[in-house]
Amino acid sequence: MTSRSCLTVILAAGEGTRMKSSLPKVLHTIAGLPIVAHVAKAVHGAGGSDIALVVGNGADQVEAAVRSVTANVTVHEQAERLGTAHAVLAAREAIMRGYDDILVVFGDTPLVETAALEQARTKLAAGADIVVMGFRPTVPNGYGRLIEQDGRLVAIREEKDASEAERKIGLCNGGLMALRGDGALELLEKITNNNAKGEYYLTDVVEIANAAGKSVVAIEISPDNVIGINTRVELAEAEAIWQTRKRRDMMLAGVTMRAPETVFFAHDTLIEADVILEPNIIFGPKVSIASGAVIHAFSYFEGAKIGPDANVGPFARLRPGADLAAKSKVGNFVEVKNAKVGVGAKVNHLTYIGDAVVGASANIGAGAITCNYDGYNKHLTEIGANVFIGSNSSLVAPVSIGDNAYIASGSVITANVPAEALAFGRARQEVKEGRATQLRARYAAQKLAKKAE
């Protein structure tokens, strides 16, 4: 398959008015990735790395989304909306470059799978001139039927034009198509708009190819592959399907999930085998987790790297730049941002670590924070190996705490602390003997006075 060249025409010029959005519908996201980029990933995986992108509204943004997946993109504007064949021919210049295979897909079908596209290309390699991808919906009402005879696809019949016998056919047109590059343009140019709507329908190429003695076949793919997104309801439904697929893939790859339906992944989440995920965890983009890590419930991660055998949560938040080394611990109600937490270091609870380096085996007490922002700029806090930071301490950056240093609880540290040193940064405690009795008497009198008013 890799020896055959392939061009993929992605049709992404639709207005998407039913999305009720100023954003082009193909730029709405599933798992944090634009719909059209999901399509580009699938075709790239199937060897269709050269992409002819047919655009309309928001062309620059749509192009950028596709280029985030592959750089081999040419952009073609469809100024008028005159049907699917007209849209494909907007990419005439790219088709004329000459390819063994041409895939035609839609920019709003984010669940299309690489395997389905590979199946179509395999049929082309075996001698087919056109491959139409069909599916079997539970209820076929409203779909065009694929009419086959002796293993050949002879026509695509719209339901309103189908006979009673044809309407009983369960294999329906999914819209996705593959064409042999040699002769594809000649077939496409023979499509006319001699129909009630005056549009050029790509489906007409099937009968045109048959009339020319070409080999036209249908393959069956999963219905999920052809789900198009037209509303936000459909967007949410597609997200649910994508997440279900991802959870299954993760578990089959060796990830333990206590309640899979409550864990939500981003498109690029990387998790190694033998990681344990408890319920109610959300992954934003750019998160990786190494083997042996345990992620406790109700945690949120984005742009974070979690090392082997680390222990995180519950109720932890890792923001971009968080980098937890092996066997480190980030506990409940801890937030880490742009900070490295060293091997075996512990940040157990109620703590903020931002713009910092925490050394190996350091212990950060409850309520300790790095004061990294002065209202204008961020500053670095360096905490050495084996450092103990007492509870409710504030480290005012820029500041450095040397190896094996000890920070007393409740301290505000504004100057560097040398290695092995003990630092206090709090007011001296005073004890007034008998003063508590006097205070109680005074407060009780005040309370009685208020009641008497």
Annotated binding site: 11-14, 25, 78, 83-84, 108, 144, 158, 173, 230, 319, 337, 352, 363, 366, 372-373, 391, 409, 426
Number of C-beta neighbours around residue 210 at 10 A: 18
Terminal Cα-to-Cα distance of the chain (whole angstroms) = 93
Residue 309 near residue 326 (C-beta atoms within 8 A) = yes
Binding positions for acetyl-CoA are 366, 372-373, 391, 409, 426
CB 267 within 8 A of CB 284: no
Residues that constitute the known binding site for UDP-N-acetyl-alpha-D-glucosamine: 11-14, 25, 78, 83-84, 144, 158, 173, 230, 319, 337, 352, 363
- Buried b / exposed e over 383-413, threshold 16 CB at 10 Å, is bbbbbbbbbbbbbbbebbbbbbbbbbbbbeb
CB 162 within 8 A of CB 145: yes
Give the span between the Cα atoms of 272 and 291, in whole angstroms: 5
CA angle 70, 73, 78 (to 5 degrees): 135
Both tokens assigned to 121? 């290309």
Q: How far apart are CA 350 and CA 354, in angstroms?
A: 13
Beta strands in 181-322 (DSSP E): 216-220, 256-257, 263-264, 270-271, 276-277, 281-283, 288-289, 294-295, 299-301, 305-306, 311-312, 317-318
Q: Is 86 a catalytic residue?
A: no
Burial 248-275 (b: 16+ CB within 10 A, else e): eebeeeebebeebebbbbbbebebbeeb
CA dist 36 and 30 (Å) reads: 10
Catalytic residue among 28, 38, 267, 349: 349
Q: Which residues contact 428 (CB under 8 A, 6 or more apart)?
A: none
What are the tokens at 191? 């499509």
> Which residues are catalytic, by number?
349
